[in-house]
Homo-oligomer: A and B are copies of this chain.
Amino acid sequence: MSEVKRIKPTLSKGTRDFLPGEVAKRNYIFNTIKSVLRKYGFEEIETPAIEKLETLTGKYGEEGDKLLFKILNSGDYLTEVRSKKTEVASLTSQEITPMISEKGLRYDLTVPLARYVVQHQDDLAFPFKRFHIGPVWRADRPQKGRYQEFYQCDADVIGSNSLLNEVELTKIYVEVFKQLQLPVLVKVNNRKLIDEIFNAVGITDKKGEAITIIDKEDKIGWQGVIDQLIKLELSANQIDDLHRFLINKNYFDFKISFKDSLAAKEVDVVMKHFDKDASVVFSASLMRGLDYYTGTIWEIACPSSSIGSLGGGGRYDNLTEMFGGQNMSGVGISFGIERIYDVLEELQLFPENITQGVKVLFVPREESVEEFTFQQVQQLRDAGIAAEIFLGNVKKQKQFNYVEQKHIAYIVEIGGNEVQSGKFRLRNSQTRDTEQDLTITDIISRLS
């Protein structure tokens, strides 16, 4: 730190600090997801934040490319541009960018996965079941609940066509949200079924637009969808048919219409594992990400909140093609970590103990007993008990705040008497109940 310049500390827009209590809550979500995924045989991987722009560009459409954070080349980049006899004066931002920036921050975890699978295919066990939790970056306009740096959490199976993967992923969704005690609906549909419905109804040209409209059903309701389909100039019959097929949320009724199709069979293989589980529902109107997914699709709805989808995913066939990989079918789900956090907060579903710091705080009443106090604390730690000595401001209020903020369960104050007797008073910081005349061994056995 060679230079001291006073500046007001602020964050870059759309980024966040996390306080200790927030990190604890986020870790609770991450650890819940990780433990379920590991039980199902998924392994964790990591890829760098920085990728070459040639890896990232062109994968997210024109709008997505604009949202990539690009890193300025190091060194004297302008001289390099000029050395190629380029007149800098006449260049537009768009023209100069590829000349002065070769790398960027990852936009999601999917394109890095594709690169990773192709690059390391000889070192991976297939079917490759991986999960990845980490930050991604988008130069989006920040707003409530939308950040420029945020976490994604993806689990995918690459290289297996079996529909039992879909069953497993559905079970994982159910188990994670059950462990989080968050009531959700796991909505299931199948891209092939959507195709069949549109074929049956005779919609071809306007399929894409119709899908975008139907996708808004959650927000505008069926009447809104119908109004917009009329504007799209679908025939009354077509709209009737679509409505009849898509409004049907119950697969076991619905499949009668399409019972001989491959799509219906695929849905059947998955759904029959959940006929006793009301949290997994077939939803014919679920449309998501049509041009990428090719089979089963999911979306997680949370009826107890207005927060929107808490996750989604589907089967896809072209993941590794862009990197010259052989075509491997993949299927994956994602957890909307940031929204899950918000809804657990909103519904007050975070368990109390997850933000707890150490079990007990020892407070020396004067400096002369600090050394003695430290030795007691160290005995607890040696016995594996999380404990602290308070070495801060002697004011009672400061000590009280410390216990409060770090959610410490017990307090032991140490003064001359305690040093002499070797007996301590253990106070519960919540109930204020105390136990007297405890030796350090007593305290260890109480808190173990």
Complex CA distance for A120 and B11, rounded to whole angstroms: 11
A192 at interface by CB-CB < 8 Å = no
A182 at interface by CB-CB < 8 Å = no
What string of 1s and 0s marks CB contacts (under 8 Å) between A90-121 and chain B?
Answer: 01111011001111010000010011101110
Number of A residues, CB within 8 Å of B: 124
Partner of A45, one of B18, B116, B389: B18
Complex CA distance for A39 and B149, rounded to whole angstroms: 31
Closest to A358 in B: B41
**Min C-beta distance of A408 to chain B, whole Å:** 8
A352 at interface by CB-CB < 8 Å = no
Chain B residues within an 8 Å CB radius of A167: 374
A338 at interface by CB-CB < 8 Å = no
**Dominant SS at the A interface?**
mixed
Complex CA distance for A78 and B101, rounded to whole angstroms: 14
Complex CA distance for A161 and B69, rounded to whole angstroms: 42
Q: Do A2 and B60 touch across chains, with their CB atoms under 8 A apart? A: yes
Q: Which of A347-403 contact B (CB under 8 A)?
A: 357-358, 370-371, 374, 378, 381, 384-389, 391-393, 398, 401-402
A334 at interface by CB-CB < 8 Å = no
Chain B residues within an 8 Å CB radius of A126: 392-393, 398, 402
Given contacts A26-B46, A27-B44, A39-B384, 9 further A-B contacts (CB under 8 A): A1-B60, A3-B58, A4-B321, A5-B58, A17-B116, A38-B358, A40-B381, A88-B88, A164-B391
Jot down 18 A-B pairs with beta carbons below 8 A, ordered by A.
A1-B292, A2-B62, A6-B321, A17-B45, A18-B45, A38-B386, A39-B381, A39-B384, A41-B357, A43-B357, A50-B149, A69-B71, A70-B71, A77-B93, A79-B92, A88-B89, A127-B391, A162-B391
A interface residues (Cβ-Cβ under 8 A, vs B): 1-12, 15-20, 23-24, 26-27, 38-41, 43-52, 54-55, 58-62, 66-67, 69-72, 74-79, 87-89, 91-94, 96-97, 100-103, 105, 111, 114-116, 118-120, 123-127, 129-130, 135, 137, 139, 148-149, 157, 159-160, 162, 164-165, 167, 171, 291-292, 318, 321-324, 357-358, 370-371, 374, 378, 381, 384-389, 391-393, 398, 401-402, 405-406
